[in-house]
Structure formats: C-alpha cells, structure tokens
Amino acid sequence: MSGYFLSNFSLTVTLNFLIKLFWVFVIEIAVQNTLGAEEYGVYFESFNFTYIFYILLDIGLSNYTNRTVAGNPETLHSIFPAIFSIKLLLSVLFLGVIFLAAQVLNYDERHVQVVMFIGFNQILLSMLLYFRSIIGGLHLFRIDALLSVLDRLVMGVVCAFLLWFPLKYFQFNLNAYLVVMTLGYGISMLIGWALIYRQGVRMNFVLDRKLMGQILRKAVPFALLFFLMGLYTRIDSVMLGRMLEDGEYQVGIYASAFRLLDAAIIFAVLLSGLLLPMFSRMISKNEPVLKLVRESFYIVWIPAVLLPLIVYYYSDFLYPLMYRENHVYGSIIFGLLMINFMPMALGYIFGTLLTAKSELKLLNIISLAGLILNVSLNALLIPHWQAKGAVIATIATQSLVTLCTFAFSLHYFRLPVYEFLHLRVIGYGLLNLLAFYLFHRYMANPALGLLLAIAVGLVTVPIFRLIRVQDLKQMVKTARPTS
C-alpha cells in the first residue's frame, strides 16, 4: 500500500513541480514583461482581491464530498445534485460580493471589469476543484494528478503560442490573458465533468436545505480560517494599489518578486497535504508525533535556509535575468520578499499539526492577530516605503503566525524545543549564512559564487545529519492513501 501511495503522490508532485516551473518561470514572466509592471499590477491586485472572498465558492463542500464519496461511493449519485446546486447559488453570491466590495474600494470601471472577469475564472476553478474532489474520493488518483495540472498546461501552451508566434493584427494584452485563463479552466472543468458523467452522475438543480445546514455548521470554522488567512496573505497588494498614486506599478513590482516565492511554497503545500492525514491518524490513535514533526522540520529547514539566502544575496544577479523593468528596485523587493519563505514553509508544518488536532478556534485567533498586525503595519509603512513596506509587513505577520503555531504545537503535544533548535539546526543555518556572505562579497563572478554557495549548502546537509535515508523511508512507510 505504501508503494501505491508513493507512486501516486510522486506523480502528483512531479507533474505539479514541472508544470508549475514552466508556468512561473517561462509563461508568467513572459506575460509580465509583455504587459508591463503597471498593467500586470492591475491583474495581480484584482486576483488577490477576489481570492480574499474565494472561500464563498466552496465553504467546505469539496472536502465534505471527498470524505463522503471516499467512505461510500454510492452516495455520490444522491449528494451531487444538491451540492452542485449549492455551488451555483454560492457562485452568484460570490460575484455579488466582489462587485459590491469593488464599489466600496472605489475601483474604476476598468478595474471592476477585470475583477469580475477574474471572479468568473475563480468560479470555473472552484468547479474544477470540486469535480477533482469527487475524482479523488473515487480513488482515481492518477486521473486526478493529470487533471491537477491540465489547466496550467493548456494556458501555458496557448500563452506561449500567442506570445512567441503572434497573430497578425493581434496584440497580447490583459484581456487576452484573462481569456486564455478562462479557456484553461473551462476545458479542464468540462473534462472533469465528463469523467464524473461516466460514473452515471447527472446535473439536476436540487435545493436541499437540510444538507446545506449540515455542511455550513461543519464548514464555518474552516471557512473563517481560510478567509482570515486570505486576508492577511493577500491584502498587502490590495492596500498597495489603493494607497499610492503609482499603486498599480508598485503592485506590479511586488508581483514580480512574488513569483519565485509562489513557486517555491508549493513544496511546503504538497508536504502539508501528505502530513495532514498522517498527523490525524496518529493523533486519533494517541501515537507520539514528535518523530514525524521533527523529520518534517528538518526536510523543510534546508530549503528554508538556502532559498532566502540565494535570493537575498544574489537578487541583483537573478532579477535582471527574468525581468526587463526597474532592475534596481525590483531586485531589492525580490531579495527581501524571499525571506518570507522561511516562516511560511515552517508554518505549514505546525499549522497542519494543529489543524489535525482540530484546534480551529486557536488557529482563527492566531490568524485574526496576524490580520490586525498586517493591516496596521501596511497602513503605517506603505505610504513611506511603498512595496518595501508591504514586504516588511508580510515578513513580520508570517513570522508572528509561525511563532504562535510553533509555540502552541510545543505546548499541546509536549514537544521539547531542543528537538528543533539544537546545535545541528542552528549550525547549518549560520554556516550557510557565512558561506553566502563570503562568496557574495569576495567572488567577482556572481554565477560562480552562487553555485559554490549552493554547493556548500548541499554538501553540509549530511554533515549536520539533517536528513537520513532511513527516516525518509519510515515516512513513506507510514503514509497511506486517504481522503
């Protein structure tokens, strides 16, 4: 069974990793260079604005369906019409909420159009994810893995064609980019629906108030947590765009720096998806979680140290390789923002652990504190430091949230702090900090200095015994397919 799990998980990770790299480092960079920082800033702000309200499109329906279908596949025929009908109603509610919120923030007509277009795409994405939750619940893992990357693959191929083989009398602009996204989500959603249709499921509008009330009662804590996390992680670009005269340009520079962070964090997201059922099972059986938490921490600690150092010290070398505009300012934002990868990546481990323990009230309180800090710091720093102020606010907020989840995880599970902050862990971080500083300062060739610094980071992993093969094998052996 562990081999079955590993093969499917490995397929999902590999496909997502390859397509994500292609999308972020080839397509999105080309799109932003074509649109320019200001126009792309309109898109990025609008996307983050709609994402804040994204939870309205699901409120736990996908998770409920996945668990129910996985436990009893025959229930799919009875619950699908009712849940699909709820999602249609939520889609209308979502569009209404983002339209009213855009009016409150005094978006101009052009910005409102972009917000509503992105909102429609978010609906397609939500339907796609819902259909995928059914496919996953039916244990069609390989199909789900392929479907998980199909939307990006379609968008990437179409964008590549339009960017590099432009049609006569056609100009690639923001509207074209949004249409391509509609195409990618729409095709993937229809294929997902076709796969479900083959299972004998039909679309009928059925308003089941009892089922809606049952799901809402279970989903509200999760929905609130998702909403609060969406606010404190996405509101910075919205505030940048609203508070500054050149806000869209500042958001565009911020978005360019965000690209690598967004791509890198998928590693932690996929790991948390593996850890959640493992933590949940161990907690339900009263098994000690220390070893799994510790080994997960070590695995994440390596990229959490290396990636921020790579970007911080060599941002002025890496940023111009990707972007055309404002290399000096963009490099500064790029170098600072990647520091946030450390608290974000580590936070996924301890946040997942508390989620497995169903400490949703605690997580909501922590997220609310993070939101208050983030909004306050953004309001204070953005007028003076522009995008740099938003980056500082983001790092401070994520550090607070991660420290809180770390502290409460130690408390609830009686984990000794020295298991995570001992000499090997601290020594690995300090040695690599020194290596990057020296290579950056004294090596004239930045490419060679970067390669040597990375080599030091990789070679010292076995020296500090942060990852051991037998521990990785044990993690895989512990994992099982689960919904």
Per-residue pLDDT tens over the stretch 131-141: 887 787 676 76
User: What pLDDT score does 469 carry?
Assistant: 57
**Which range among 126-130, 143-147, 208-212, 374-378 shows the weakest confidence by mean pLDDT?**
208-212
- Band (pLDDT 50/70/90 cuts) for residue 154 is very high
Name the most confidently modeled range: 135-149, 188-202, 450-464: 450-464
Phi, psi (deg, nearest 5) at residue 328: -70, -55
Share of the chain above pLDDT 70, in %: 89
**C-alpha closest to that of 246 among 386, 111, 44, 106:** 386
Q: Stretch 275-290: mean pLDDT, rounded?
A: 84
6 has a pLDDT exceeding 60? no
Classified as helix, coil or strand, 84 is helix
| 432 pLDDT above the threshold of 80 | yes
User: What's the Cα-to-Cα distance from 450 to each of 47, 264, 339, 442, 446, rounded to whole Å?
Assistant: 34, 18, 17, 12, 6
Report the pLDDT averaged over residues 177-201. Answer: 89
Average pLDDT, the chain: 86
Looking at residue 229, its pLDDT comes to 87
57-66, 187-196, 263-272: least confidently modelled range? 57-66
Q: What pLDDT shows up at residue 344? A: 95
Burial of 460 (0-12, 13-18, 19+ CB in 10 A): middle
Angle at 404 between CA 397 and CA 215, to 5 degrees: 90
Q: Which of 248, 228, 229, 232 is nearest to 240 (CA)?
A: 248
What proportion of the chain, given as a percentage, has pLDDT over 90?
Answer: 50
CB 53 within 8 A of CB 93: no
Close Cβ partners of 448 (under 8 Å, ≥ 6 residues apart): none
What is the average per-residue pLDDT within 359-372?
93
pLDDT tens-digit series, residues 37-92: 889 999 999 999 999 998 888 877 776 676 666 666 776 766 777 788 888 889 99
Least confident of 8-12, 160-164, 273-277, 439-443: 8-12
Which segment of 59-73, 90-104, 302-316, 370-384 scores lowest on mean pLDDT? 59-73
Angle at 373 between CA 368 and CA 375, to 5 degrees: 95
Quick one: pLDDT at residue 23? 86
CB 229 within 8 Å of CB 401:
no
For the segment 178-187, the average pLDDT, to the nearest whole number, is: 95
pLDDT at residue 13 tops 80: no
Residue 69's pLDDT is what? 67
| Residue 144: predicted pLDDT | 76
CA distance 482 to 478: 12
> Amino acid letter at 427?
G
* pLDDT mean over 267-290: 83
pLDDT (average), residues 163-179: 87
pLDDT tier at 331 (50, 70, 90 boundaries)?
very high
Token pair for 62: 């996908």
| pTM score, whole prediction | 0.83
> pLDDT digits over 103-129, tens only?
999 999 999 999 999 999 999 999 998
361 phi, psi to nearest 5 deg? -60, -45
Confidence at residue 179, expressed as pLDDT on a 0 to 100 scale? 95
Q: Which whole number is the average pLDDT over 427-455?
A: 96
